[in-house]
């Protein structure tokens, strides 16, 4: 039994083990924080894409300036607007056309997390043919752009059916 105030051999061992495990613990904590940030980002970018599509349906026309303004107003701190684009998809069976909105936002990656993921993810194509530009490695709706400083590219999509317009502007 050790006396109070004396440092024993096991106390030094505990400190050494703690110091050795601290980097692994910190990487794990920052990875969890980054994962939460990405999850919130995916939800926000998808919501922004659906809001832009809803706005286009309400105005019965897609306006790039209005879309960019709405998209930038919805993004939260830390996110940077990358691009927002739309595609009209005509369906011969329907009178109205579908409007597909693709929204892309950029989020900085934490230094250790971005470097680790950039090495771990194999190169892949984007989630769809009209994917966001800039990312070289994709994992679902999230792409990773490197080299350092690393940034995540988050893609969100929404499809809305445009209103019928008798003047021929579907």
User: Mean pLDDT across the stretch 132-159?
Assistant: 86
Lowest mean pLDDT among 8-17, 54-63, 112-121, 152-161: 8-17
Q: Do 53 and 101 touch, CB atoms closer than 8 A? A: yes
Choose between 146 and 47: higher pLDDT: 47
> What percent of the chain has a predicted confidence (pLDDT) above 70?
82
In a domain, 114, yes or no: yes
pLDDT at residue 82 is higher than 50: yes
Amino acid 170: pLDDT = 44
Q: How many domains does the chain have?
A: 1
* pLDDT tens string 24-34: 898 889 889 99
pLDDT at residue 167 is higher than 80: no
Interior angle at CA 42, CA 37 and CA 44, nearest 5:
90
Amino acid 32: pLDDT = 92
In a domain, 167, yes or no: no
Per-residue confidence at 38, pLDDT binned at 50, 70, 90?
A: very high
In a domain, 122, yes or no: yes
Per-residue confidence at 127, pLDDT binned at 50, 70, 90?
A: low
pLDDT at residue 93 is higher than 80: no
Containing domain of residue 108, as a range?
A: 9-161
Amino acid 122: pLDDT = 73
Instruction: Give a three-class secondary structure readout of the chain.
Output: CCCCCCCCHHHHHHHHHHHHHHHHHHHHHHHHHHHHHHHHHHHHHHHHHHHHHHHHHHHCCCCHHHHHHHHHHHCCCCCEEEEEEEEEECCCCCCCCEEEEEEEEEEECCHHHHHHHHHHCCCCCCCCCCCCCCCCEEECCEEEECCCCCEEEEEEEEEEECCCCCCCCC
pLDDT at residue 106 is higher than 90: yes
In a domain, 69, yes or no: yes
Rounded CA separation 102/61 (Å)? 16
In a domain, 168, yes or no: no
Structure tokens given for 167? 């003047």
Q: 114-145 burial by CB neighbour count: b if 16+ within 10 A, else e?
A: bbbbbeebeeeebbeeebbeebebbbebbbbb
pLDDT at residue 5 is higher than 80: no
In a domain, 2, yes or no: no
Amino acid 12: pLDDT = 76
Q: Do 71 and 94 touch, CB atoms closer than 8 A? A: no
Checking DSSP bridges between strand 137-139 and strand 151-161, what pairing results, if any?
Answer: unpaired
């Amino acid at each position: 039994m050790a006396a109070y105030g004396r440092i024993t051999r096991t106390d030094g061992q505990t400190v050494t083990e703690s110091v050795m495990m601290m980097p692994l613990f910190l990487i794990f904590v920052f990875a969890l924080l980054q994962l939460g940030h990405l999850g919130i980002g995916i939800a926000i970018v998808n919501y922004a894409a659906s809001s832009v599509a809803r706005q286009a349906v309400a105005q019965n026309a897609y306006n790039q300036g209005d879309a960019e303004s709405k998209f930038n107003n919805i993004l939260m701190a830390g996110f940077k607007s990358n691009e927002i684009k739309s595609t009209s998809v005509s369906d011969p069976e329907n009178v109205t056309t579908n409007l597909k909105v693709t929204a892309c936002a950029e989020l900085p990656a934490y230094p250790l997390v971005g470097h680790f993921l950039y090495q771990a993810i194999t190169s892949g194509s984007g989630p769809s043919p009209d994917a966001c530009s800039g990312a070289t490695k994709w994992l679902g709706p999230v792409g990773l752009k490197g080299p350092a400083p690393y940034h995540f590219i988050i893609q969100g999509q929404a499809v809305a059916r445009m209103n019928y317009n008798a003047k021929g502007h579907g």
